[in-house]
Amino acid sequence: MLAPNLSESIVSSADRAPFLLHRGFIGAGAVLLMAALITDYTYYTTALWQWANFSAWLITAGLIVMLVAVVSLLIDFATGHARRLNPASFMLVTAAALLSLVNAFVHSRDAWTSVVPQGILLSVVSTILLVIAGARGWSLAVSRASGDRP
């Protein structure tokens, strides 16, 4: 026999928070960009050239995933799951992505100058920005269910 309050416990699809597609891609791209700091530091301490290559690959892959995150953010807006941008998180992630783009160009140099000092500094700053954005929840948009209903 069903409990009388069963109908109250069933949540309609209109009351549930919509799934924001871009959040997972931003988190994945951020992990790749933050991992570049680890490989930059490893190159700095060991001077083994392959670590500089790993850093360049991680930055490139992170930027590609961040580009997918931008497309998925547009999809979130097009499907109506997202209502408006979260300006602080958007600025943090955008600044980190732009610094990482500059970092990709810095890492295209030869040998030691590809990492030290500009490459590792750019990796540190972008990692700090991404850690702050991660603490805010990786969401660049406010969803319908967060109290932002028209």
Domain extents in the chain: 20-139
Query: Residue 32's pLDDT is what?
Result: 98
pLDDT digit of tens for each residue in the chain (150 aa)? 555 554 444 545 455 566 889 999 999 999 999 999 999 999 999 999 999 999 999 999 999 999 999 999 999 999 999 989 999 999 999 999 999 999 999 999 887 888 999 999 999 999 999 999 999 988 888 876 655 444
Query: Residue 35's pLDDT is what?
Result: 98
Query: Residue 54's pLDDT is what?
Result: 96
Buried b (16+ CB within 10 A) or exposed e, 25-54: bbbbbbebbbbbbebbbbbbeeeeeebbeb
Please tell me whether the peptide bond between 117 and the residue prior to it is cis, using omega within 30 degrees of 0: yes
- CB-CB contact of 29 with 69 (8 Å): yes
Query: Residue 42's pLDDT is what?
Result: 96
Name the residue among 2, 8, 145, 7 with its Cα closest to residue 82.
145
Distance CA 93, CA 24 (A): 13
